[in-house]
Amino acid sequence: MDCGLYQGNDDEFDTFNEEFLFDPKELDCVILSHAHIDHSGRLPKLVKEGFKGRVYSTHATRDLAAIMLVDSAHIQERDAYYQNKKKKGGPKVKPLYNVTDVQNTMDQFLCIGYNRWLKIDEECDIMFRDAGHILGSANVTLRIKKDNYHDIYFGFTGDIGRPDRPILRDPRSMPECDYIICESTYGGKLHNSTPQDENNLLEVIQQTCVEKKGKLIIPAFSVGRTQEIVYMLDRLANQKKLPKIPVYVDSPLAINATEIFQAHPECFDKEILDYMHTDPNPFGFNNLHYVRSVDGSKRLNTSEEPCIIISASGMMNAGRVKHHIFHAIENPRHTLLVVGYCSPATLGGILRNSPETVKIFGELKEVKMQISIMDSFSAHGDQQEMIDFLENQDRKKLKKLFLVHGDIKRQKTFKEVLEKRDFREVVIPELGESFKI
């Protein structure tokens, strides 16, 4: 289930990406819940090290993974190049994989739609259901033959999304399972506003771009968050509420991802499908410009016109958005709108706390631009939404619930809450720990 790349800065996981805790040649298959790099990012390394089986995913996940893994390979090749340039002697830094490894990986994909069982083995069927997290995201159920009369149901939540989010259908719970591996990102946490928050966004645009004639910089993940914001702006433009200012999507990956969104209306919810009756392109309006070239991006750095810039990376630790922030941060006319989680060590994580100064590209900068936060865009269900997702489970049938994908504090809180709700055995596994079921 999934094969992610660790992307944080913790020293504890410094070498985590380098080595698998098992032999890739011995795996029968991989089941991929969604395309986010922390779930898919080491697939090419798995293939490079001898994995020959199939990778099962939904169609949209496969298409997103294709562009995201190529992007990941490019980033790694570039990082290795710069690290080697800095390095004096010693062994060379090597990327985990390259674009050829990604191409080989894509040959091993086999795609299936939602809500149907597919036989993947004499004794095992698989089914994907909507996760409501990103395009193509799914939770996974395995139906494993125990004997002639009994099956074992094994569930994997992947990342649990949220109901009422733009574009995607709501999460759909898994069938009643015997065992579940469950994420726990927002254990102990409740999101403070509803997923669709157009008025807040409009207010920030009005204050920054109209009243102060400044730039509104929105760091956003290229896949998912960018399309949600563009769709929201598209709706505001159609309602004639959006001020007449240019909007730039400055990220080549986001542009490619938007094309993939357009190719997968089978993942859309009713609301956006209805919307497309009157506006066939929910990701494009008159003042919206997609910026591919580096020169185009650089022009935005120094331009003085009031505008909205949506750019990656979401955590601001790399990518074009870092340059936009570098140029705008000492000017109180501009606003940085943080729309997603940023791990504490990243530039985004630091700026979320509105510090007085910050170091960017080695230069100490005063933080004078306004910093606003809108957490309502989160693609991860909060604690209550995760509980709602698990509520249909038969507490007597469910023998073990394993908590993964969350820091240990959140996992412990979530475990306590689940136990109060009669989930019998909630287990927080150690890295590399094995269980017999």
144 vs 121: CA distance, rounded Å: 9
Q: Which is nearer to Zn ion, 36 or 215 (CB)?
A: 36
Under rule CB under 5 A, residue 405 binds Zn ion:
no
Select the span of 2-10, 30-38, 265-273, 315-323 touching Zn ion (CB under 5 A): 30-38
- Tokens encoding 366: 């005063």
**Smallest distance from the beta carbon of 136 to Zn ion, in angstroms?**
11
Q: Which is nearer to Zn ion, 3 or 325 (CB)?
A: 3
**Smallest distance from the beta carbon of 4 to Zn ion, in angstroms?**
9
Q: Which is nearer to Zn ion, 133 or 323 (CB)?
A: 133
Pairing assessment for the beta strands 400-404 and 307-311 based on DSSP bridges: unpaired
**How far, in whole angstroms, is CA 218 from its chain's centroid?**
16
Select the span of 36-44, 54-62, 278-286, 369-377 touching Zn ion (CB under 5 A): 36-44
Site for Zn ion in 313-332 (CB under 5 A): none
Q: Which is nearer to Zn ion, 223 or 232 (CB)?
A: 223
Select the span of 1-9, 10-18, 33-41, 196-204 touching Zn ion (CB under 5 A): 33-41
The residues pairing with 256 across neighbouring beta strands, listed in sequence order, are: none
**Smallest distance from the beta carbon of 109 to Zn ion, in angstroms?**
18
Site for Zn ion in 192-251 (CB under 5 A): none
Q: Which is nearer to Zn ion, 136 or 214 (CB)?
A: 136
**Smallest distance from the beta carbon of 389 to Zn ion, in angstroms?**
15
Q: At what angle do helices 225-238 and 270-278 cross, to 10 degrees?
A: 40
248 vs 285: CA distance, rounded Å: 11
Select the span of 21-29, 32-40, 146-154, 327-335 touching Zn ion (CB under 5 A): 32-40
Q: Which is nearer to Zn ion, 59 or 292 (CB)?
A: 59
106 vs 86: CA distance, rounded Å: 33
Angle (CA) 79 80 81, round 5°: 90
Q: Which is nearer to Zn ion, 350 or 379 (CB)?
A: 379
**Smallest distance from the beta carbon of 132 to Zn ion, in angstroms?**
11
- Tokens encoding 142: 């395995």
Half-sphere exposure of 67 (CA within 13 A, CB side): 17
**Smallest distance from the beta carbon of 342 to Zn ion, in angstroms?**
15
Q: From the list 36, 48, 162, 320, which residue makes contact with Zn ion (rule: CB under 5 A)?
A: 36
Count of residues engaged in binding Zn ion, rule: CB under 5 A? 2
**Smallest distance from the beta carbon of 335 to Zn ion, in angstroms?**
27
**Smallest distance from the beta carbon of 237 to Zn ion, in angstroms?**
29
Q: Which is nearer to Zn ion, 7 or 376 (CB)?
A: 7
15 vs 116: CA distance, rounded Å: 38
Site mask, Zn ion, residues 134-163, x = CB under 5 A?
A: -------------------------x----
Q: What is the DSSP string of 115-141?
A: T--EEEETTEEEEEEE-SSSTT-EEEE
Query: Which residues, in sequence order, are CB contacts of 420 under 8 Å at separation 6+?
Result: none
Select the span of 29-37, 249-257, 315-323, 347-355 touching Zn ion (CB under 5 A): 29-37
23 vs 25: CA distance, rounded Å: 5
Strand order, beta sheet including 179-183: 118-121, 124-130, 138-145, 151-156, 179-183, 400-404, 426-427
**Smallest distance from the beta carbon of 34 to Zn ion, in angstroms?**
6
**Smallest distance from the beta carbon of 258 to Zn ion, in angstroms?**
18
Q: What is the DSSP string of 325-385?
A: HHHHTT-TT-EEEE-S---TTSHHHHHTT--SEEEETTEEEE--SEEEE-GGG--S--HHH
**Smallest distance from the beta carbon of 36 to Zn ion, in angstroms?**
4
Q: Which is nearer to Zn ion, 185 or 372 (CB)?
A: 185
The residues pairing with 118 across neighbouring beta strands, listed in sequence order, are: 126
* φ, ψ dihedrals at 271, nearest 5°: -60, -50
Select the span of 35-43, 273-281, 307-315, 404-412 touching Zn ion (CB under 5 A): 35-43
306 vs 243: CA distance, rounded Å: 11
Sites of contact with Zn ion (CB under 5 A) = 36, 159
